[in-house]
């Protein structure tokens, strides 16, 4: 099987060894799905704006709405998505709820994304 595993594409172009390698390094389907879900959360400009606003300070829902020119409902819905993705966390104080970034991954991921955009 010297030249035989470099077949034309009827089967595989690449060497068997590479196929093995690719398949063995590939994470479980569920993890890939979760990863896609995470990026999906970042994949909306409204949510990106909300995250950027929270870069500077914790803010309550109506602050965010006013700052970004969005309705209270839209912001609340999106905060729910961000919270589900563990990207923001709430702190309740009386009737108002303050949101802040959940951890540093948010900052590093967005920074990395920006780098790619700007090159």
Partner DNA sequence: ATAACATATGAACAATAATTCATATGTTTG
Partner DNA sequence: CAAACATATGAATTATTGTTCATATGTTAT
Q: How many CB atoms lie within 10 A of CB 55?
A: 11
Candidates 6, 16, 66, 80: give the one binding a second copy (CB under 8 A): 66
Find the helix or strand (DSSP H, E) in which 100 lies. strand 96-101
Of the pair 44, 73, the CB lying nearest a second copy is at: 44
Q: Which is nearer to DNA, 96 or 112 (CB)?
A: 96
Those residues with Cβ within 8 angstroms of residue 47's Cβ, 6 or more apart along the chain or in another chain: 41, 78, 81, 82
Burial label for 45, CB within 10 Å (0-12, 13-18, 19+), is exposed
Instruction: Give the residue from 50, 48, 86, 52 showing the smallest Cα distance to 65.
Output: 50
Q: C-beta of 21: minimal distance to a second copy in Å? A: 5
* 88 contacts 81 by C-beta, under 8 angstroms: no
Only one residue has tokens 């602050």, namely 63
Least Å from the CB of residue 104 to DNA: 23
Q: How many residues bind a second copy (CB under 8 A)?
A: 57
Binding site for DNA (CB under 7 A): 8-10, 40, 43-44, 46-47, 60-62, 70-74, 76-81, 90, 94-98
Binding stretches for a second copy (CB under 8 A) = 9, 11-14, 18-19, 21-23, 25-27, 29, 31-45, 47-49, 52-53, 55-57, 59-60, 62-63, 66-67, 86, 96, 103, 105, 108-110, 112-117, 119
């Amino acid at each position: 099987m010297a030249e035989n595993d470099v077949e034309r594409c009827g089967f595989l172009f690449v060497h068997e060894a590479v196929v093995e390698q690719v398949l063995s390094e590939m994470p479980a389907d569920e993890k890939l799905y979760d990863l896609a879900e995470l990026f999906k959360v970042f994949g909306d400009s409204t949510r990106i704006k909300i995250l950027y606003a929270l870069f500077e300070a914790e803010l309550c829902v109506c602050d965010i709405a006013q700052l970004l020119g969005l309705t209270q409902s839209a912001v609340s819905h999106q905060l729910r998505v961000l919270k589900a993705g563990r990207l923001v966390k709430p702190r309740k104080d009386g009737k108002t709820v303050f949101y802040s970034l959940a951890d540093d991954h948010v900052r590093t991921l967005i920074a990395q994304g920006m780098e790619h955009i700007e090159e």
